[in-house]
Structures are given as structure tokens and as C-alpha cells.
A and B are shown apart, each in its own frame.
Chain A
Amino acid sequence: MPSITRQPFRTAVLVLVWGWLLFLVLAPNLLVVGASVMTRDPGTFISLPLNLDAYRQLFDPLYLEVFLHSLYMAAMTTLVCLLIGYPFAWALSKLGKQRQLLLIFLLIVPFWTNSLVRTYALKMLLATNGLINSSLMGLGWIDEPLQMLYTEGAVIIGLVYLLLPFMILPLYSVFDDLRQELLLASHDLGAGRFATFIHVIVPLTLPGVLAGVMLVLLPAMGLFFVPDILGGSRNLLVGNVIKNQFLDARNWPFGAAASIVLTITMAILMLAHRLSKQRIGEEGA
């Protein structure tokens, strides 16, 4: 009897999931791939013939520089997130369960406010006559306001602020799974704290590090409103290029090609993550 009632439900769920994936994930991505190999057209945005001009344009020194600078800022953001997130997640996993839940809750609270609003809030802090400058001047520690806004640093601060939770959560998950017995076994076999960290803790938390890097590095190249608000004209992200090509320059093929580069970067990172998990035997042999 249950199989008769369950079967339609099963089918409905499968149709829903597959429908979702086909129409909202696969189809749009195929459209982007399609757009990237077509020709720019002022009237219809894209037209035939097919060509790889958009990809060639990516290697234009001007855009290559933007891409590399964006990668650099994203890498710095990721590094800062990792340096803050790793010890934070480690300490978090050592607290009592109640406190862990409270801190994770606090970590998630900022998501309730739109990230654009939070970025404007950051701008108020960093501005020339913002809270930080006026406090420091009020204390007499500086005579002239520091130029913080519209710098590379401001963009990185903004990105770290928005993306840090995405680094902490996967790291917390691997630290939470880290069995204390393994650390004891390492000490028991003669390893001190440092050797245990290098030989046991780092390799076993590597999947979390890579997951965190994936969740931070890619968005850090795409969150175009952060440089828009905090960065000025020189600190562009790949996301700004993509946005400009679609909305301002009306060069859809080029915007699509830039977007696909990001997708490929993501795929490579996901592959690395998978390999690192296989190494410790968490997924199939």
C-alpha cells in the first residue's frame, strides 16, 4: 500500500528537482555559454556568426590587468578570512554546545540585513569624516583624516566583512568533526603540539579550508557593489567587468566569456576539494 501512495510523491519530487536544475541552472548556463561564442550586436545584443572573439578579448592587457588585480584582491580577502576564520572556527569547536550555537547564531545575524545596506554602513565608518577618522582625531591620535575609503584596502575590508561567515562555517564543520582521539593518538606516539598541528590537524581540516576558499574566493571576484561603493574607479573586480559589459557597454559575448572564466575557476576549486576529501576517505575510494 505505501508504495502506491509514495510513488506519485516520489515522481513529483524528482520532476521538481530535475525541472529546477534543467530550467534554472542548466539552461541559463548554456545560454551564457552560447552568448559567449556569438557576436556583439547593438540591436539584439547578440547575433551570429559564432566566434571566439570574446575570449580573445579577455587577453587584452587592459582586461588581463583588471582580472589579475581582481584575483589579487580576492586572494587577499580569502587569506584574511582564512587567518581570522581558522583560529576562530577552532576555538568555536572547543566551546560548550550552548555557546557554539549562540556564536553561530551571532555569525548569521548580519545576513538578516541586506549586504548592500551593510556595505553603506561600512562606508560611513571608513569615510574621511566617518566614525573612525573623527574618533581618532577626537582622541588626538591623528591630525589629519586617514584616506581609507576608495582604496584597495577598503575593498578588501568590505569583502572580508561580507564573506567571513562563509569561511568560518565550513571550517567549523571540519573542526567539529575532528576526533579528539586522533590528536591524543598523535601525542601518544610522540608528537608535540606543533607536529600534531602540521601532520594531523592541517591535513584533516584541509577539506574545510578548500570549501571556505571556494565560498570566499569566487564571490570575492564577483561582488561588484563592494568596489562600486568602497573602491573608487581603480579597484575593479571581475564582477564589475561583467556587470559593465552587460549593462553599460552592451557587450554580451564579452561579459558572458568573463563569467565563464569564473565558472571554470570554480570547477577547478571544486575538483581540488573533492580530491582532498577522497584523500582522507570521506567520499568513495
Chain B
Amino acid sequence: MKKTLLSLSNLTKQFDGKTVLDSLSLDIYDGEFITLLGPSGCGKTTLLRLMAGFEHPDAGTITLSGEDLTGTPPEHRPLNTVFQHYALFPHMSVFDNVAYGLKMEKRPKEEIRERVEEALAMVQLQDYMRRKPHQLSGGQQQRVAIARAVVKRPRLLLLDEPLSALDYKLRRTMQVELKRLQRELGITFVFVTHDQEEALSMSDRVVVLKDGLVQQLGTPREVYERPANLFTARFVGETNFFPGEVESIHDGTITVDVFGLKRTLRRPDFPVREGQSLHVLLRPEDIRVLDPADEQGVAGKIVERNYKGSTLDSVIHLEYGTEVLASEFFDEDDPAFDYRLGEPVKVSWVDGWEWLLPEEADESVNEDALTDA
């Protein structure tokens, strides 16, 4: 049983009459790395600002280890923030930036010096203490911001898209470094991002948010492999949606008609009845591309192929009009395998790798909501 550190209950926040958070509740466990994931405007940053105390909720409470923090100003909350654009004080040296929080606590000079040096050593910046922020690279500034936030030994560290301004390679390095820091410090990390890959690779748990509501809360594996609804399925990773119709229901399995294929699939958790339409979700890596002569599978032809280094990603246009994304690993037997455009193929998948979702009332895809901030 995990211990709850920060408990958010029924948080509601409106800006100019627009509801940004809608009675949101969430328990954050002590020592975990939890990620708030969602498109821009989903309320993830507002949620973080409420935790930090920069905004106050219209309704609901925030408690830290049972102590009510709802009305506490940010300077009296035992948690610290790493800002998206670092927010380093430009007129202070790296040392003074990191020392700022400790000076505000009126710590003795000697202690401040020791702790600042320790924090800077942790992010490998001990040789840059005298520099000004503008003399550092983006990645170095980011590390100063992290050192400045952890030097106060907060119970909880809030990170607001801290890696979004870094280039791809540096971002990957910082992801690993942040994980290491979190393990070493044992501090609870609340990480905000719109990058689903980042969320999956770093988190113990992921909170998928949309329109101020929690869509799904679970481990990265749960969120990716067993999305709770169409939004999560679409937002987290690439997904193929096949329309299915329930033909018959058995113990533990159901037979579904997908593009004329009769497949016997695991019975889903939601109630099903015969004749019902549902979605069969398949990740690109679950798709099997077969020879056109194969008896199983849905016929189509290759309309696009992209060499991705470790995988070959292709788009297959099915005879039914749907386009399917497939991602196949190169294997040892055939390192040169490739498709030519227009090549006829058949598409199938291994039983059990699919995920079923019921049809939803409002299925109009909000494409805007899916694009990154």
C-alpha cells in the first residue's frame, strides 16, 4: 500500500467563465514519478500551478500529508517548481540562483555554500558557479533550474514541461538524468508534458488529461496497451482503429467481424451484446503484413514506406478504404526486407494483441486537441 503525499480533491478552476479543471481528484504517492500528460489546454499546467500555489482553486482542496495547503501562498509550501523556460534570475550568478531559496530561509552562510555546491555537483555544474545564466547553454540552464529547485529538499518537485525547449538528443540525456536524480533524491516528481513518449519512458504513473478531466490514470504500460477510451488511444502513441461487429458471445471470448474476417477475441470488460459495433485497436507494431496469397488477412496495397533505422514503417491502403499504419522490425533472416509502393499485401494481427473499446457517443475527433502545444 503506497502512502499518499499530495491529495487533490474535487479541484475546479475557471478562467473567464471557461472551465479549465472540472472537479478533478488525484492522489500522488510518496516517492513516485507521476506525469500529467495531455494536449495544450487540457488543464495540466493549471493543475501544476494550483499545486505550486500560483493559482487558487475555485473549489476543492489540496492536502499534503493530511495538512491543508489550499490557501497557503507558494512561499510557504514545501514544494518547488522547475519552470518551462527555467526562470533563472538573469542578474545573479549560478551560485546565487541556487542559493536564493536557502538565503530566503536565512540559513547560515557556511551551510548555504555547502548545500549549493552539493546541488551543483549533482547536476555536474560545480565548475560554473560564477557564470551568469546567459553564459550557459540551454541544457546547462535547465540543470541550474533543477539544482535551484532541489537544493531546498522539497517534499515534491513540480516540473512544467522542463525539457520542451531542448533539442532531441539533449532531451533524451536529460530524461535519463532526471530519472537518476529522482531515484537518488527520493523526491516525488510531478512532471508535466505533452510528449507522450517522454511520459511513457519516465513515469511510474501517467495521468492522461483532456478538458480538465482525468481520462486515464495508470502505469505507462496500462495507458499504452489498455487505453481507457478513444482519446487516450489516439493521444498516446499511434493507433489503428478497425470497425468490428459482435457476431456471437461465448464464455470469455467473443467472435467479431472485422472487414469480413471472423476473429475470436478476448471478451472485454465492458458489456457486449450481439450485433454491437465496437472498435478494434491495434498499435502499428501489432500489425502483421502478410503475403497477398495468404488466406487470413484483409487485402490492401502499400501506399507509403519509411525507413526508420530499426523499423520499417509503412502505410497500407485497405480495399475497404481505411489506411493502416504498420511498423515492422528488421529481423536477422531478412535484413534487406522492403516494400515497393503499390505492392499488394494482406493485413492481420496476432490474436490477443488487439484492444477493444466500445463506440463513444461523441466520436468526432478533435484534431486540434491532438496536435502538440
Contacts and interface: CB of A to CB of B under 8 A. Distances in A.
A184 B74 contact: yes
Interface in B94-109: 100-101, 104-105
A94 to B, nearest CB: 16
Interface in A176-201: 179, 181-182, 184-192, 195, 199-200
Residue from A179, A181, A185 whose CB has the most chain B CB atoms within 10 Å: A185
B288 interface: no
A185 B90 CA distance: 12
A200 B89 contact: yes
A191 B133 contact: no
A276 to B, nearest CB: 9
Contact of A187 (B74, B89, B91, B148): B74
A190 B134 CA distance: 24
A179 B87 contact: yes
Assign chain B's interface to a size class: 20 to 34
B80 A189 contact: yes
A204 B83 CA distance: 19
A280 B87 CA distance: 13
A10 interface: no
A281 interface: yes
A279 B133 CA distance: 11
A102 B87 CA distance: 30
B147 to A, nearest CB: 12
B305 interface: no
B134 A189 contact: no
A contact face: mostly helix, strand, loop, or mixed: helix
A192 B88 CA distance: 17
A80 to B, nearest CB: 27
B134 A281 contact: yes
B68 interface: no
Most chain A beta carbons < 10 A, residue from B91, B101, B148: B91
A188 B132 contact: no
A203 B132 CA distance: 14
B281 to A, nearest CB: 39
Contact of B105 (A182, A186, A190, A204): A190
Contacts of B88: 185
B85 interface: yes
Q: Which range contains the number of A residues in contact with the other chain?
A: 20 to 34
B329 interface: no
A184 B101 CA distance: 13
B311 interface: no
A113 B129 CA distance: 54
Contacts of A117: none
B83 A185 contact: yes
Contacts of A4: none
Interface string A261-285: 0000000000000000001111001
Given A181-B85, A195-B104, A188 B91 contact: no
Given A181-B87, A182-B87, A190 B73 contact: no
Interface string B131-144: 01111000000000
Interface string B42-63: 0000000000111000000000
A184 B87 contact: yes
A184 B54 contact: yes
B359 interface: no
A194 to B, nearest CB: 11
Contact of A191 (B75, B84, B90, B135): B75
A197 to B, nearest CB: 13
A184 B158 CA distance: 13
Interface in A126-184: 179, 181-182, 184
B100 A189 contact: yes
Nearest to B81: A188
A285 B100 contact: no
Contacts of B132: 281, 285
Nearest to B84: A181
Contacts of A195: 104
B104 A191 contact: yes
Contact of A188 (B80, B84, B90, B135): B80
Nearest to B79: A188
B52 A281 contact: no
Contacts of A185: 81, 83, 87-89
A279 B135 CA distance: 12
Contacts of A282: 90
Given A181-B85, A185-B83, A281 B133 contact: yes
A181 B83 contact: yes
A182 B81 CA distance: 12
A199 B101 CA distance: 12
Contact of B75 (A190, A200, A281): A190
Contacts of B134: 281, 285
A179 B105 CA distance: 24
Contact of A189 (B53, B84, B85, B104): B104
Contacts of A179: 85, 87
10 contacts: A179-B85, A185-B81, A185-B89, A187-B53, A187-B73, A188-B52, A188-B75, A189-B80, A203-B91, A285-B135
Interface of B: 52-54, 73-76, 80-81, 83-85, 87-91, 100-101, 104-105, 132-135, 148-149, 152
Interface of A: 179, 181-182, 184-192, 195, 199-200, 203-204, 279-282, 285
Given A188-B80, A189-B104, 7 more contacts: A186-B89, A187-B75, A190-B75, A195-B104, A203-B91, A285-B132, A285-B134
User: What 9 A-B pairs are tightest by C-beta distance, nearest first?
Assistant: A281-B134, A189-B101, A190-B104, A185-B87, A181-B87, A280-B91, A187-B74, A280-B90, A203-B91
